[in-house]
Chains A and B, each alone.
Chain A
Amino acid sequence: MVDLESTLRARRSAGGRAFVPYVTGGLPGVDAALLRALEEAGADAVEVGIPFSDPVMDGGVIQEASRIALERGARPGDVLDTVAEADLRVPVVLMTYLNPVLRRGEAAFVAAAADSGVSGIIVPDLPVDEAEEWTARCAERAVAPVFLAAPGSSEERLRRIANASRGFVYCVSTYGVTGERERLAGTAREVVAALRPLTDRPLLVGVGIGSPGQAADACRFADGVVVGSAIVRHLVAGERDRAVELAAAYRSAVGSVG
């Protein structure tokens, strides 16, 4: 597996910004070839989601993607198989809600992910206070646990989040769930600015980024962006080529900053 944090740090050291597209695993069209196409479009890492029945951190687009994936019988192991088959040169970050992890067992889940080539895992409903066991299991397999920082997190919490995270800190741009917004929220800059003095880990902004222009705006203060719903929207509509083109457009916008 490729080391997530050193990849993102290398991008930053070279004066660049990271672009990380998210796709929901198990959705029609989300196969190894798509993950490779996203890599070729210039993704610095690719985030792949395990569809879940109750995605409370997700807005309409990813809810719908999850529903479709589950309806056609997608299972966590299938998503990992796709990741393994893609065998990307860039790191893969897995996104999963907590219950599928607990059902399998934390150690077994991390092991299966690591064996499939996953470099980091985001669990949006696992705040840092509940994650002692989880971070220990991740450390055993050198998988990066990525935690979310949000508007409203106290400095003390931000410090714990930064200390527990490996790979990068996921800076939630705004109050709310995933899904494109009209403009980049002012809170995105606040979260990054509050974290900066506490850590030198890469800080990526995600949730709500709705256009390449917004991604470029975020990259003026952050080390990169995660873009999900804007891309997944096209995959849900069956427009796979359009999704890849859009990823390339994001890459280009992010590349213009630095």
Chain B
Amino acid sequence: MSVPTPARPDARGRFGGFGGRYVPEVLVPALDELDAAWTTLRDDPRFRGELETLLRDYVGRPSALTFAPRLSERTGYRIYLKREDLNHTGAHKINNTIGQVLLAKRLGKRRIIAETGAGQHGVATATACALFGLPCVVYMGEEDTIRQAVNVSRMRLLGAEVVPVTAGSRTLKEAINEALRDWAASVRETHYVLGSAVGPHPFPRLVRDLQRVIGDEARRQFREAEGRDPDAVVACVGGGSNAIGMFTAFAGLPGVRLVGVEAGGRGDGLGDHCRSLTLGRPGVLHGAFSYLLQDEDGQVAGTHSISAGLDYPGVGPEHAFLKERGLAEYVSASDVEALEGFRALSELEGILPALEPAHAIGWLLRRPLPEGSSVLVCLSGRGDKDLDTVRAALAGASGG
């Protein structure tokens, strides 16, 4: 029943025409080292055993699959939620960070750096570093340190140093720039735990391999519950790590639609959204060739989303590949729809979702699928971090 590991990317990190490794020369040896190490360790029984034990005993896997009866009734679907919000630290991000920090230890690295947008990846990295006793520096856009202040406190309490990044739009894109600059200087002793399925090869493969546990578990759980595969699998897409983790188990299965939901923000104008797959065009950002929001000179565009975790102008190269091959479809939900999704899941199911997966719920509230469809949704994280944002947005809306 399990779908074998995809034969992509190729040895050069290409997913069809996408991906690759567009980085300054100084980083190439470290990427080669990482690629070689992961190629060996991903199938190494001892490494896998260690990782699986941690995922079970520390993260709390497998995460539950929850039927959502009232949301199902509201939409006319049979909706199941893959509860990544129930993981330790409250999101799917920890699946990746535990694996990467374990890998970094094997490589003999003595220091960890990471970027973060919403703060979930930063918290998950700081957590893994506390667990393994490694120093951790997290780069975070200054704007995000404000809208995700609780996560900044969590990271600091976990012993990480949080460095606010003041360049550009002061969000995730700039945090990655700054982490890459740190890594260029520190690459001999430092591992960069990239948090999404983006970046130069081998990161898109590494992050997918570590996140595919979401889809592998969910497929098994869904078949136990329904006796078949779902009609549709829906996940939000910023860089795309929870979505690729979910989709990998289903890609290419006949009769299963894969739907990635991008952040539609406040409109279709450049700078008002994060719709790289639905409104961008291919280009290079952060080391990979993929869809990208850019202006006519190739300058990377500003973005907007109510959710910090989706606020990114690029997307992982495997999503570009899935889109081009017609293996997945990509849509968007606006800020307003995400808030509707947040409220619906809270009021109907007693689950406060993060604003990121709230986009997936918001899209489903449009009833875009045939009546009676069975739907598997990746609930990638919990909403506690977003309460201030949601409260402010709802107050603004009711105030006119």
Query: Are A154 and B23 closer than 8 Å at their CB atoms?
Result: no
Report how far A53 CA is from B176 CA in the complex, Å: 13
Query: Are B184 and A103 closer than 8 Å at their CB atoms?
Result: no
Known contacts A99-B285, A104-B298; A130 and B25 CB within 8 A of each other: no
Min CB gap A129→B, angstroms: 7
Query: Are A54 and B173 closer than 8 Å at their CB atoms?
Result: yes
Question: How many A residues touch the partner, as a band?
Answer: 35 or more
Contacts of B297 in A (CB 8 A): 75-76, 100, 103
A150 at the interface (CB under 8 A from B): yes
Query: Are A175 and B168 closer than 8 Å at their CB atoms?
Result: no
Residue of B20, B167, B184 touching A176 (CB-CB under 8 A)? B184
A157 at the interface (CB under 8 A from B): yes
Known contacts A130-B20, A175-B188; A150 and B181 CB within 8 A of each other: no
Query: Are B299 and A127 closer than 8 Å at their CB atoms?
Result: no
The interface bits of chain A over 218-244 (1 if a CB of B lies within 8 angstroms of the residue's CB, else 0) are 000000000000000000000000000
Query: Are A129 and B12 closer than 8 Å at their CB atoms?
Result: yes
Contacts of A127 in B (CB 8 A): 21-25, 28
Query: Are A157 and B28 closer than 8 Å at their CB atoms?
Result: yes
Report how far A63 CA is from B287 CA in the complex, Å: 18
A33 at the interface (CB under 8 A from B): no
Contacts of B177 in A (CB 8 A): 54-56
B98 at the interface (CB under 8 A from A): no
Report how far A101 CA is from B299 CA in the complex, Å: 10
Known contacts A127-B22, A148-B25; A176 and B185 CB within 8 A of each other: yes
Within 8 A of B (CB), among A170-193: 172, 174-177
A102 at the interface (CB under 8 A from B): yes
Residue of A126, A175, A177 touching B22 (CB-CB under 8 A)? A126
Contacts of B101 in A (CB 8 A): none
A151 at the interface (CB under 8 A from B): yes
Q: Label chain B's interface by main secondary structure.
A: mixed
Contacts of A54 in B (CB 8 A): 168, 173, 177, 285-286, 300
Contacts of A176 in B (CB 8 A): 26, 181, 184-185
Query: Are A177 and B185 closer than 8 Å at their CB atoms?
Result: yes
Known contacts A67-B168, A152-B187, A176-B184; A53 and B299 CB within 8 A of each other: yes
A250 at the interface (CB under 8 A from B): no
B118 at the interface (CB under 8 A from A): no
B43 at the interface (CB under 8 A from A): no
Min CB gap B176→A, angstroms: 8
Report how far A52 CA is from B187 CA in the complex, Å: 24
Residue of B nearest to A109 (CB): B298
B186 at the interface (CB under 8 A from A): yes
Query: Are B296 and A125 closer than 8 Å at their CB atoms?
Result: no
Report how far A157 CA is from B25 CA in the complex, Å: 9
* Chain A interface residues toward B at CB < 8 A: 52-57, 59, 63, 67, 70, 75-76, 98-104, 124-130, 147-154, 157, 161, 172, 174-177
**A55-B177, A125-B284, A148-B24 are known contacts; what are 15 more A-B pairs with Cβ within 8 Å?**
A52-B299, A54-B168, A57-B184, A98-B22, A103-B294, A127-B24, A129-B12, A147-B25, A149-B25, A152-B30, A152-B188, A157-B28, A161-B25, A176-B184, A177-B181
Nearest 9 pairs of A and B residues by beta carbon: A103-B298, A176-B185, A100-B298, A150-B26, A150-B25, A99-B298, A53-B299, A148-B25, A152-B29
Supply 17 A–B pairs (Cβ within 8 Å), ascending by A.
A53-B300, A54-B168, A54-B285, A56-B181, A57-B24, A100-B299, A102-B284, A102-B298, A103-B294, A148-B25, A150-B28, A153-B25, A153-B29, A157-B25, A174-B185, A175-B186, A177-B184
